[in-house]
Amino acid sequence: MNDKLLMDDLLTSVKAQCDLFLHATIESSTPDVHEAFNNALFEVLRIQNEVYGKMAARNWYPSDQAPMNKVQQVEQKFIEQAQ
């Protein structure tokens, strides 16, 4: 297994953990449980950001800048839908 595939698998796993901890935080029944899941969520988000940063630095997870006019078009669409 090469490094890129291993990092991609790690990122996929961490994203799944983020999803689980988000829903656990939302659905928690007591403040103590909520705080525990929320802390775990933020730790996993930190790890996800670290993994993504390492992948992006090696161009294994490229990201493109969206043209500002496209961003504004989408923003305007959602503003119109909300009214």
Element (H, E) at 77: helix 68-82
φ, ψ of residue 63 in degrees (nearest 5)? -135, 140
- Arithmetic mean of pLDDT, 6-33: 96
Q: Is the Cβ–Cβ distance between 11 and 61 less than 8 Å?
A: yes
| Residue span of the structural domain in which 33 resides | 3-82
How high is the mean pLDDT of the chain?
A: 94
Q: Is the Cβ–Cβ distance between 26 and 49 less than 8 Å?
A: no
Structural domains of the chain, count:
1
Query: Other CB atoms closer than 10 Å to residue 32's CB: what's the count?
Result: 9
Q: Per-residue pLDDT for 30 more than 90?
A: yes
Q: What is the pLDDT of residue 3?
A: 93
**CA 61, chain centre distance (Å):** 13
Q: Per-residue pLDDT for 65 more than 90?
A: no
